[in-house]
Structure 1
Amino acid sequence: MRAFCSLLLLAAVPAVLAVKTQDFKTCSQSAFCRRGRGLSARAQEASSSWVSPYSVDASTISIAPNLASFTAAVKSSLYPDIKFGLDVRIHDDGVVRVRMDEVDGLRKRYDGAASWALVAEPELSSKIRWSVGKADVRAKYGDKKDVEVVVAFNPLRVTLLQGGKEQVVLNGKGLLHMEHFRAKENSPKEEPAGESEQVVMQVNNRAWFEGDSEDEYWEEKFGSWTDSKPKGPESLSLDISFPNHGHVYGIPQHATRLSLPTTTGENAYYSEPYRLYNADVFEYLADSPMSLYGSIPVMHAHSAGSTVAIFNAVGSETWIDVAHPSPKSTETHWISESGILDVFIMPGPTPADIFAQYTRLTGTPALPAHWALGYHQCRWNYISSNDVRDVQKRFDMEDMPVDVFWLDIEYAEEHKYFIWDKKNFPDPVDMMHDVEDIGRKMVVIIDPHLKRTDNYPVYQEANERGLLVKSADGEKDYEGWCWSGSSAWIDFFNPNSWDWWKTLFKTLPQGDRWSWTDSTIDTYIWNDMNEPSVFNGPEISMPRDNVHHGGWEHRDIHNINGMLLHNLTSQAVMTRTDPPRRPFVLTRSFYAGSQRFGAMWTGDNLGTWEHMAAGVRMVLANNIGGFSFAGSDVGGFFGNPDSEMLVRWYQVGIFSPFFRAHAHIDTKRREPYLLDEPYKSIIRNVLRMRYSMLPVWYTAFRETSVTGLPVLRPHYVAFPHDEAGFAIDDQFFVGSSGLLVKPIVEKGATHTTVYLPEDQVYYDYFTHDVHRGASKGKSVTIQADLHKTPLLIRGGSIVPTRERPRRSSPLMKYDPFTLRIALSNQDVAHGELYLDDGETYSHRDGHFVWREFIAEKTEKKSKAVRISSRNLAAQKPGEAVDGVALTKYDGSNDFAKSMADVRVERVVIFGAATKPASVKMGDSELQWEYTQGVAASDKREGMASVLVIKDPGVSITSDWEIVVQA
């Protein structure tokens, strides 16, 4: 929701947006970014004569016994008296962690970013050994001993190689610079010159490396604000090169292309670096490297030969330049305001390996509640209890499914969150029960700013407990301005705030502690404004010199700050009940590891075609960043989209992991039932499509909760060797389902082109038309009239759906299934289905159903096809659930027993070569219909043959076989 909206009536949104760029810094307005880019410019100008001043003191190397870890002292030729420490370690899975910090400095640098992001301290390898040479330390490992890490001494340089080729290089360009802590009177410009030749050389070298003047070391102004910078300069510069990788992805959140464009050089796509600084950006541009609401400092580098990645565990503002010195290589320069060097190098070598390595560090996405994958209806604001009831009634009258209704800030009296405005919401619990009667839920917003007033118990308790963020003096509680007016902010870095915050969400009285008794256990939470957004603060945020628990300045932890709110809110919601139920928490601000706690959305987008397209790319980028449960506001937050745009946006939304419509308070009401025909009926069918595919989405989320593989997969993830697909970001695959989606994001489109990356048959989901790829990739034209989303099923896939229209997803629990079998060129197919109760954690105790469906020839040269179902959990017990490996799985568990009567009501086979002679299960002939068409094994295109097997009478939980005899 918009942070400081002027509440203007938005009749339309212009194509060229008026983002208030003056509210946010550019690199040239940020002193430490200027210094970092200046360093890079001097290095480029000096070219081959540029040498990094940092080197390893070989005499100090200490190798840990029986572990792949070593430490060493690092010195800088610019400042011989300043000490640095290097710590390099290799984890069990081959990930390399490189840390460097100032030792015995005047102050301590913030080193806690990784502790918030990591699920646990990684296990070090006990099998890998470091070898110390005259010029470097190195280690080889991997199944083929083809992975090598080399730490060069002078200058310090860290290289990951695979097969003898450089994959990742730290400080290869000599841009490493850790600005050490210093006393103000001993700044370089005040050092005596001329005392000796050595001093003169030292001063000259410092000017050559750092610049010849202090650039706002001790105080910095931006607009009317002054940052006191009491610790002085402490930025960190580091170049990270990928010499054999021409594409890089990640570092969400930015509204840009998936394959990140260049920011330096004559042909730079952007003149500014990518900025990671969680910010509340008004009307953000649809194509820009500007910072937005969240920051995940992870970057993938990809080529046809391998995928590698880095995770830079830093919590402060960071600017990143990207350059492509050749089509096959990438150079990046990371400039952070504060913190230590703490970089994790992930060796891959495949995208799947990278996702596994990254999520072993920061955690896999949480398996959401099943209902959370349904449709969410929101606006700023439903104005009363009766308004909510009326909206629900209209959805039911129009036979439109919906699972969740949302309340924005106007539900709260004077924006005192948790406290209902009883004038408009006199009966909140009764209202929620009315929504819950047919399995629906409510989500209510809880923002982090607290109204500073004694009649607000949440603020009063936080104040009395000393839990509020302090001003720069470290003594006075910080006061800023937000929706509540004069506001204070809870310091969630203070451990004393944690249990207290969780108690607030209890729905039963908690003795003398305040709790939210005017809510229910089916009330879930939306955390907005947690960048944090401060209306009267610099860059619409908190001053950097504010002080948090432990004495850390806000600048040190800014990008981590928002994550703590939704982490603790998630825990609070989960522990409202005993046993706990899965929480749902939506967050706007996020950091690495946020995927463990809930969902995110891309913020306050606009109702334009450009923003619709940008939202697709942004959601893909968040999936690459490990945060799969992502979506953009359907319809755009600002503006009044016309009916065509709204239809197309719903078609985008049903193929987003998080699916919510949301709108600004000054937009016209645009609930889908308000549209005229035919648009209303089209959207009704679109919504039903989402609900029919909930088994696909839930199965995909099970996979990401175990493996880390994203729910939405761009082409480089699904087909990592196909170079023609590396830059594609307007179409994607849904999990491992075989569904290929190409959303329409252009006005008036009736056709589109879809890229097929392989020599395989693809079937149009709706028309059953056959499209064929080629060994080197091929683009095909797909019909895309307004009622139709281009959606293809890859040959070789089996897609389970539920086709009964229902009002909400919990009402579908016992509905039968349809299996769509898309035969491959080789007349085979495979698919999966995962089910559990969708709300509790009983699946971690083995209470679930996980089935594999297979279509294959009965014999190698036979024309007969066997379709079978088997228990997949029994074969892969360690993969079965999120985060818990089962050593034994009981297929007759309680949940499976409860689903025993749920049947497969229809099997549809695309591409069968000939009309069957029989379709049998055992000795029983089944009912079926066959329509002649193109076979999967043909080379032709046209309408596919379709075999429909009617109600075979098989349970979704049991093993069975159907034989189609040609």
Structure 2
Amino acid sequence: MRPSSLTYHVALLAVLFFPTVFALKTADWKTCSQAGFCRRGRALSARAKEHRSWKSPYSVDASSIAVASDQASFTAAVTSSLYPKINFGLELRIHKDGVVRVRMDEVGGLRKRYDEAASWALIEAPETSHDIKWTVGKKDARALYGPKKDIEVVVSFEPLKVVLLRKGREQVVLNGRGLLHMEHFKKKGDSVEVKPEDIPEEGLDIEDEAQKVMKLSPGAWFEGDSEDAWWEESFSSWTDTKPKGPESLSLDISFPNHGHVYGIPQHATRLDLPTTTGDTPTYTDPYRLYNADVFEYHASSPMSLYGSIPVMHAHSSDSTVAIFNAVGSETWIDLAHPSPKSTETHWISESGILDVFILPGPTPEDIFGQYARLTGTPALPAHWALGYHQCRWNYISSDDIRGVQKRFDEEDMPVDVFWLDIEYSEDHKYFIWDKKNFPDPVEMTKDVEAFGRKMVVIIDPHLKRTSDYPVFKAASELGVLVKNKDNNEYEGWCWSGSSSWIDFFNPASWDWWMKIFRTKKAKEWTWTESTESTYIWHDMNEPSVFNGPEITMPKDNIHYGGWEHRDVHNINGMLFPNITHQALIARSATPKRPFILTRAFYAGSQRFGAMWTGDNLGTWEHMAAGVQMVLANGIAGMTFCGSDVGGFFGNPEREMLVRWYQVGAFQPFFRAHGHIDTKRREPYLMEDPYKSMLRDILRLRYSMLPIWYTAFREASVTGIPVLRPHYVVFPHDEAGFSIDDQWFIGGSGLLVKPVTEKGVTEASIYLAEDQVYYDYFTHYAHRGAAKGKHITVSAALHEIPLLARGGSIIPTRERRRRSSPLMKLDPFTLRVALDNRVSARGELYLDDGETFSHRDGQIVWREFVAEKPDKKAKTLRISSRDLVKEKPGEAIDGVALKNFSPSNNFAKSIESVRVEKIAVIGLSSKPKSVKVEGGQALEFVYDGGVAAGGKKEGVASVLIIKDPGVAISEDWAIVIDI
């Protein structure tokens, strides 16, 4: 949703009426050249490149080095040859899992730098390793560690440099190019003239006579010769006062042996990040991390968007490493490839301390685990949240919601959630219903609940400044509103008109906010006109301020603790869903898993719910960009993610809408949404054959919910994303490192490549291995190759390019239901896609899908295996075993499975749920018999075709075992005599 401005409406009309020809607006947001600290950082990099003898002025004071008695940490004083009276403190800690934390802060400065970013992102203080031994020499200090003692951290003293090596090869280098610069706090007016001969020779070429004759303030050869936006800065009509003066942090981070980097979402760009500097950069501006309400954003741009996660993966065929830069202020990142096999980055932040976590890998899975141990794993969502969500701005009344629900049922289309945008509220006073159009909100919600469905309503962070709004009144009286630079309540403009914003950095706001969500009357005002099936959508929480600089809050606003908004901007949006998450849990006597959708996010936001890619456009380019953005968010932790189906702006043509539903059905968060001025486009409004196509897509999503839920269980335990890019699944296949238009769904073996271009009837899919892949719908067997191979598949409008990897067992539920909660006792179908060795494996995870009882062992977790006893055997055995018994060391939400009993109430509640069909794909011949091991013979139908272990392509053989009579929650085996 966007600000009401003339330019906005003009642009909107262009989108609505000329959807393929319109200008994208960028002037409301800064470029690097318009941000003083980014200019200074880039100028520093340019000077370093110009001077051949450039050397970092920062060095370690060897006499100050201290190694903790348990060897877990290394500390030292750091000095600058430019400012010998300014002191810095360096600390390195090596965590138990090998992660290296590097911190540097100004010591005894005029002011304190913001150092709390990591405390909001981390789930707990990381456990340090005691299996470390530091060796301190004359030039450096070293620590060798790891299970194989092949990882080494080296801290060079002069100049300061930190290097992580594996097997002697450099993996990550901090300050290798000498761009580290922590602008120390100054007093306004501080300026000392120095003589040219006082300039350190190591910082300037001797031949540079032009520089030598200049009158310079201290460090001008390093910082520049002017006070560029030190104390205030203007952009458009706004002036940012900077009472603390310059305090930016510049740091170069290099990956000398890694030629591909991913992450730093959110940007609309390729997964394999394009360059911003070098000989032929893709972009001329750095990547910006600054949560912003950017409407009509470009489909390819380094511009900042709604969220910021300062984590970057670096990948090669040898290893994967990563860094997490715990900074909450605006940050710009330049990226270059000095060679195809190496990457250089330059991080420029407006404020904060140096607090970098180096993740050593060496595999993608290791990186996900190391990052998850820092910032937490994605929350295990409620099962219904993985169904289809129907939204628009706005369903206009209670009767409108009831009518939409009725039409879904009449058209036999499944849906789980209906959404209400801002117009449900009276004068945009969130929590307060517009009784003219929504006279019976509780009854309306209960009508939705009657079919197992839920409601989601929007709660934006701005509070209308009026005394008859109890939420604003209470926040003002409690003193928990953000202050302006004069320490008065900040007043800005948003949907509510004159508005203020809750300062969730203030602990006094937390309990108060949580109490609002209680559905019963209390002494304080509570949201009694809601139910426990009402869930929350947090929009505009960057925060979006219509009359603010860059459509956000002024940087010199004041938060709790006296910190300026510039220090915490990127963290700010994370706190809103955090507290609401706790509120939704606390409102129920039996806590239920909350659902919260957030637009703004930061590292750690994955713990609190889902996010979406914001206000996209109804264009083919944005459909494709959304795919890349969802993948990028996933590898940075935010795996519960999706793009608005159909595009927020515009009226997609029929072909585009069908293709967008195909994309949405294969993203974790599946929601259709549209702007208030777009045409209604609920799927049942389409004429046939398009309506039937959309119905089939929705049914396909619901049949696959067991796959999605099982993948989310793994993500919630390991941190590995639900959507897995090619490099994650095949980390040694260089041909696939830049692929970002096809992906695997969890560990299911499903490979999907939705069409995102107009008029396409065929699609090319890359297969990385010498393995058989089956078309999910036709069972056509495609053969890969050892060095990779592209195949062409049919992709007419009604077709989705979807393959099942040989070696997978895929559990689905094929009964048609109107919502996912009605599927709880439905039987399962198992698709056994045999691999080249005539074997397969799969998993299924189940719990009640709503409460936290899974933490008490109320789960069913099964492994299915198809295998021959030996290569020459004439039998194939398909079995089910209990993974709770088999993997006692595993955990669910931190609780070890060894503490769980396989015989639990949930398992008993579904003991009647059976496997109704098994389809075995790729057998070499018709079986002689099929029977339950130790039991009766079973009916089967065999349709001959290509065998899994052969070399031919064509439609594979399919064996259908009808109603084998085995329970999904029990151990069993079926023997096929071939």
With normalisation by structure 1, the TM-score equals: 0.98
Which residue number in structure 2 is paired with residue 957 of structure 1? 969
Matched, 1:233 2:246: yes
Three-state SS of the structure 1 residue aligned to 2:575 is helix
In 1, the alpha carbon distance for the partners of 2:198 and 2:71 equals 45
How far residue 185 of structure 1 moved from its aligned partner, in angstroms, is 1.6
Establish whether residue 126 from structure 1 lines up as the match of residue 138 from structure 2: no
Q: Aligned runs of 1:507-656 on 2, under 5 Å?
A: 507-511=519-523, 513-656=524-667
1:18 aligned onto 2:23: yes
Distance 1:952 1:194, change over 3 A: closer
Q: Distance in 1 between matches of 2:122 and 2:902?
A: 34
The answer for the alignment partner of 1:499 in structure 2 is 511
Aligned ranges 1:420-499 → 2 under 5 Å: 420-474=433-487, 476-499=488-511
Contact 2:860/2:907 (CA < 8 Å) preserved in 1? yes
Following TM superposition, by how much is the alpha carbon of 1:587 offset from its aligned partner in structure 2, in angstroms? 0.1
Check conservation: 2:193, 2:217, Cα contact below 8 A. Answer: no
CA distance in 1, matches of 2:727, 2:40: 35
2:407 maps to amino acid: R
1:30 maps to 35
Q: Within 5 Å, give how 1:45-64 maps onto structure 2.
A: 45-47=50-52, 49-64=53-68
Query: Residue in 2 aligned with 1:814?
Result: 825
| Whole-angstrom distance in 1 between the partners of 2:197 and 2:260 | 49
| 1:375/1:687 contact within 8 Å kept | yes
Query: In 2, distance between residues paired with 1:145 and 1:408?
Result: 55
Post-superposition offset of 1:71 = 0.8
Give CA deviations for 1:814-833 in whole Å, capped at 9, x if unaligned: 00000000000000000000
Q: Deviations over 1:68-88 (max 9, x none)?
A: 201100000010000000010
Is 1:304 the counterpart of 2:308 in the alignment? no
Asked if the contact 1:13–1:607 (Cα under 8 Å) also holds between the matched residues in 2, the reply is no
In structure 2, distance between residues paired with 1:320 and 1:114: 19
1:192 matched to 2:193: yes
2:668 paired with 1:657:
yes
CA distance in 1, matches of 2:196, 2:149: 54
Residues 362-400 of structure 1 deviation map (CA, whole Å, 9 limit, x = unaligned): 000000000000000000000000000000000000000
Q: CA deviation at 1:212?
A: 1.0
Is 1:696 aligned to 2:707, yes or no?
A: yes
SS in 2 for 1:73: strand
Q: CA deviation at 1:863?
A: 2.6
Counterpart amino acid of 2:329?
S
- Correspondence for 2:877: 866
- Give the superposition deviation at 1:194: 4.7
Count of matched residue positions in the alignment of Structure 1 and Structure 2: 960
Cα distance change of structure 1 residues 54 and 684 upon mapping to structure 2, 3 Å threshold: same
User: Where does the alignment leave 5 or more consecutive residues of structure 1 unmatched?
Assistant: none
Give the deviation of 1:861 after TM superposition. 1.3
Aligned partners of 1:114 and 1:314 also within 8 Å: yes
1:436–1:522 CA contact under 8 A, matched in 2: yes
Range with bigger deviation, 136-145 or 406-415: 136-145
SS at match of 2:892: coil
Q: Secondary structure at the match of 1:556?
A: helix
Change (3 A) 1:147 1:437: same
Q: Is the 8 A contact 1:67 1:124 kept in 2?
A: no
Rounded Cα–Cα distance in structure 2 between residues aligned with 1:634 and 1:618: 14
Q: C-alpha displacement at 1:266, in angstroms? A: 2.2
3-state SS in 2 of match to 1:417: strand
> Do the aligned partners of 2:38 and 2:332 also contact (CA within 8 Å) in 1?
yes
Contact 2:193–2:218 (CA under 8 A) maintained in structure 1: no
Which stretch has the larger CA shift, 916-925 or 819-828? Answer: 916-925
What is the Cα deviation at residue 858 of structure 1?
2.6
Looking at structure 1, the residues matched to 689 and 425 of structure 2 have their Cα atoms a distance apart, in angstroms, of: 38
Deviations 1:687-729 (A, max 9, x none): 0000000000000000000001100000000000000000000
Specify the SS of the correspondent of 2:566.
helix
Deviation for aligned residue 1:17 = 4.5
- Residue 795 of structure 1 is matched in structure 2 by 806
Query: In percent, how many aligned pairs have the same letter?
Result: 73
Residue correspondence of structure 1 range 144-543 to structure 2 within 5 A = 144-186=148-190, 190-194=191-195, 197=198, 203=216, 206-474=219-487, 476-511=488-523, 513-543=524-554
- The one-letter code matched in structure 1 to 2:877 is R
**3-state DSSP class of the match of 1:450?**
strand
Equivalent AA in structure 1 for residue 463 of structure 2: L
1:757 aligns with 2:752: no
Is the contact between residue 265 and residue 633 of structure 2 (CA under 8 Å) also seen in structure 1? yes
Deviations 1:415-457 (A, max 9, x none): 0000000000000000000000010000000000000000000
Q: 1:831 to 1:192 in 2, by over 3 A?
A: same
Q: Is the 8 A contact 2:90 2:102 kept in 1?
A: yes
Q: Do the aligned partners of residues 343 and 198 (structure 1) sit closer, same or farther apart at CA in structure 2, a change above 3 Å counting?
A: closer
Give 1:13 shift.
4.8
Spell out the pairing of 1:778-793 with structure 2 (5 A cutoff): 778-793=789-804
Tell me if structure 2 keeps the 8 A contact 1:13–1:638.
Answer: no
* Residue aligning to 1:889: 900
Q: Under a length normalisation based on structure 2, what TM-score does the superposition of the two structures give?
A: 0.97
- Where structure 2 has 5 or more consecutive residues not aligned to the other structure, the ranges are 201-211
Distance 1:844 1:706 in 2: 12
Q: Distance in 2 between matches of 1:863 and 1:622?
A: 47
Q: Is the contact between residue 878 and residue 884 of structure 1 (CA under 8 Å) also seen in structure 2?
A: no
Q: Which one-letter code corresponds to 1:70 in the other structure?
A: F
Q: 1:4 deviation in Å?
A: 4.0
Distance (whole Å) between structure 1 residues aligned to residue 198 and residue 64 of structure 2: 29
Residue 962 of structure 1 aligns with an amino acid whose one-letter code is I
* Alignment partners' CA distance in 1, 2:848 and 2:17: 44
Q: Find the counterpart in structure 1 of residue 81 from structure 2.
A: 77
**Superposed counterparts of 1:664-675, under 5 Å:** 664-675=675-686
**CA deviations over 1:330-365 (Å, ceiling 9, x no partner):** 000000000000000000000000000000000000
* 2:155 is equivalent to residue 143 of structure 1: no
Higher deviation after alignment, 174-183 or 13-22:
13-22
CA contact 1:3–1:529 (8 Å) conserved in 2:
no
**Which residues of 2 match residues 824-903 of structure 1 at below 5 A?**
824-903=835-914
CA contact (8 A) 1:318 1:335 kept: yes
- 1:725-779 CA-partner distances (Å, limit 9, x unpaired): 0000000000000000001001111101000000000000011101011001000
State the alpha-carbon separation in 2 of the partners of residues 217 and 410 from structure 1: 43
Deviations 1:497-520 (A, max 9, x none): 000000111101122x01000000
AA aligned to 1:946 is V
Q: Distance in 1 between matches of 2:643 and 2:847?
A: 27
Distance 2:431 2:288 in 1: 34
Counterpart position of 1:88: 92
**Compared with structure 1, are the counterparts of its residues 639 and 86 closer, same or farther at alpha carbon in structure 2 (3 Å cutoff)?**
same
Residue 468 of structure 1 and its aligned partner are, at CA, apart by 0.3
Deviates more, 1:2-11 or 1:441-450: 2-11
Aligned equivalent of 1:943: 955
The answer to whether the 8 Å contact 2:398/2:439 transfers is yes
Shift of 1:948: 0.4
Measured in 2, the distance between the counterparts of 1:359 and 1:113 equals: 17
